[in-house]
Amino acid sequence: MKACILTWGCQQNEHKSEAIAGVLRATGYVLVANPDDADVVLLNTCMVRGRAEDKVLGRVGELQRLRRTRPVLIGVGGCMAQGHGEGILDLLPGADFAFGTARLADLPSLIARARDGERFAFLPRPNGLEPLPFVRRSPFQAYVTIAEGCSHACAYCVVPRVRGPLRSRPMAEVLAELRGLAQAGYQEATLLGQNVDAYGRDLGDGTSFARLLRAVGEVPIPRIRFTTSHPAYMTDEVIAALASGGNLCPHVHLAVQSGSDRVLAAMNRGYTREGFLALVRRLREAIPGVNVTTDVIVGFPGETEDDFAQTLCLIDEARFGTVYAAMYSPRPGTRAARMPDDVPPEEKARRLERVLAATRRIALDLHRARVGTTVEVLVEAFLREKGRLVGKTRDFRTVLFPGDPAMIGRTAMVKIEKATAGALHGRLGEAR
């Protein structure tokens, strides 16, 4: 049988899809990229925002057209299935079966049940860590999960419900996986966790994210990244480990969500506006040139115009390299879902656009300061429509430049000649 896997959401979801692919290939499935060629289509979903769910609803409707000419199974899995429980089958009548975020090794037997005509939802509670094979999508960039789940319980976030509590992998396992990637020639690895800097807090044996970073610095992979960090767990020890440099990239994604102390308290974030800004200052003092990026939610219940103005002010003060902004949408089962969703949709949209405009302005200023410099770029892809190679600097800035697609997976020195809000543009110096 041929299987197609469609993915929405975060890097951990992308990595979970690599595990789904590994499980299916190990049991004889042929993996295809196009649903039109598949006997079974699996949707690995996200429900962190309502918009992500809307996309899945639309896609399942589109996929049903495949059944006009042949039998095709549609399985909906991941966070959306876990979050809605048995109700996912009512929400998506076009789905043949549903699976959650745990026990992915059971997928071949679940598909067999669906082929026999059974319609069901298989949604065991996430518990422990499941060792799975992977089919990695890149031969030079890899994801490495160091922890799953989250125990922080932000008021708006559905992750603890659908992914379970924090569960950290033993450090020896993480390091063994990284050493295997180094032997295979990988140029970059990204350490993954819902709150990656909370790593080790559940183990009770002295394991910490700072200790892991120092150990990872000894692994011969040229670039090590991590995501996503929570400000409440970004300790001075973590900052010191990052400041040691080496293969640890100078980029920290640190989600602030709001610039208002009142809103941050309602969100249960565990820090204040000034505490966050002080943390950003400590990062920049310890790691010159570090690129701090962030997430912002606009229109959280009760957010006033003054609260929003404080967020804009914080963005101006912190001067993030990138702000990933989203309008608040209630998530089932969260504490915030019980609060009045009292910011009108049109006001949320207005606030979102103001955040994006501020982000573009700051990004353009930061990128213009790079014009005339030479940067190291790991080439990730060739954009045929632009006729340009695209890649990332060590501090996670996008660079476009003309070159040979054979350079994908290699590093190159690029002289920056032009800046836009979205990217740096240059010409090739030397590849290696």
Q: What is the DSSP string of 319-375?
A: T-S-EEEEE----TTSSGGGS---S-HHHHHHHHHHHHHHHHHHHHHHHHTTTT-EE
Same domain, 94 and 142: no
238 and 315 part of one domain: no
pTM: 0.95
DSSP 8-state symbol, 125: P
Residue 258 lies in a domain: no
pLDDT at 429: 82
Could you tell me the two tokens for 137? 């999508």
Question: Which CATH number goes with the domain that contains 74?
Answer: 3.40.50.12160
Q: Does the residue 280 lie in any domain? A: no
Q: Please indicate, yes or no, if residue 268 is contained in any of the structural domains.
A: no
Q: Are residues 6 and 118 in the same domain?
A: yes
Are residues 341 and 383 both part of a single domain? no
353-357, Cβ contacts within 8 angstroms, sequence gap of 24 or more: 354/308, 354/312, 355/296, 355/298, 355/311, 355/312, 355/315, 355/323, 355/325, 356/323, 356/325
CA neighbor of 76 nearest in space, from 64, 88, 68, 58: 88
Q: Are residues 41 and 83 in the same domain?
A: yes
In this structure, what token pair is assigned to residue 133? 């094979």
Distance CA 156, CA 406 (A): 44
Query: Which pLDDT belongs to residue 432?
Result: 52
CB 29 within 8 A of CB 3: yes
Residue 276 lies in a domain: no
**Residues 298 and 323 placed together within one structural domain of the fold:** yes
Domain boundary among 320, 336, 369: 369
Q: 122, 147, 166: which is the final residue of a domain? A: 122
Q: Record the tokens describing residue 323, joined without a space.
A: 């702000």
> What is the pLDDT, as a whole number, of residue 15?
97
Instruction: Please identify, among 336, 351, 369, the residue that sits at the C-terminal boundary of a domain.
Output: 369
* Beta carbons of 397 and 364 less than 8 angstroms apart: no
Residue 400: HSE in the Cβ half-sphere, 13 Å Cα cutoff: 14
322 C-beta neighbours (distance < 10 Å), count: 21
**Domain that residue 116 falls in:** 2-122
CA–CA–CA angle 107, 171, 106 (5° rounding) = 5
Residue 276 to residue 288: CA distance in whole angstroms: 18
161 shares its domain with 97: no
pLDDT of 58 reads 94
Report CA torsion sign: 396, 400, 402, 407.
Answer: positive
Please, what is the Cα angle at 147 between 45 and 145, to 5 degrees? Answer: 70
Question: What is the C-alpha to C-alpha distance for residues 110 and 104, in angstroms, rounded to an integer?
Answer: 10
Nearest of 424, 430, 315, 322 to residue 369 by alpha carbon: 424
**118 lies in the same domain as 143:** no
What pLDDT, on a 0 to 100 scale, did the predictor assign at position 430? 60
The CATH number for 230's domain is: 3.30.750.210
278 assigned to some structural domain: no
Report the domain count for the chain.
4
Pair (108, 20) in one structural domain:
yes
Q: What is the pLDDT of residue 177?
A: 98
pLDDT of residue 245: 87
The CATH number linked to 387 is 2.40.50.140
pLDDT, residue 128, reads 85
Contact 96, 114 (CB under 8 A): yes
Task: Please list the pLDDT of the chain residue by residue as tens digits (432 residues).
Answer: 999 999 999 999 999 999 999 999 999 999 999 999 999 999 999 999 998 999 999 999 999 999 988 899 999 999 999 999 999 999 999 999 999 999 999 999 999 999 999 999 999 999 889 999 999 999 999 999 999 999 999 999 999 999 999 999 999 999 999 999 999 999 999 999 999 999 999 999 999 999 999 999 999 999 999 999 999 999 999 999 999 989 999 999 999 999 999 999 999 999 999 999 999 999 999 999 999 999 999 999 999 999 999 999 999 999 999 999 999 999 999 999 999 999 999 999 999 999 999 999 999 999 999 999 999 999 999 999 889 999 999 999 999 999 999 999 999 999 999 999 999 999 998 655
Q: Is residue 195 part of a domain?
A: yes
In a domain, 85, yes or no: yes
Residue 130 in any domain: the answer is no
CATH number, residue 363: 3.30.750.200
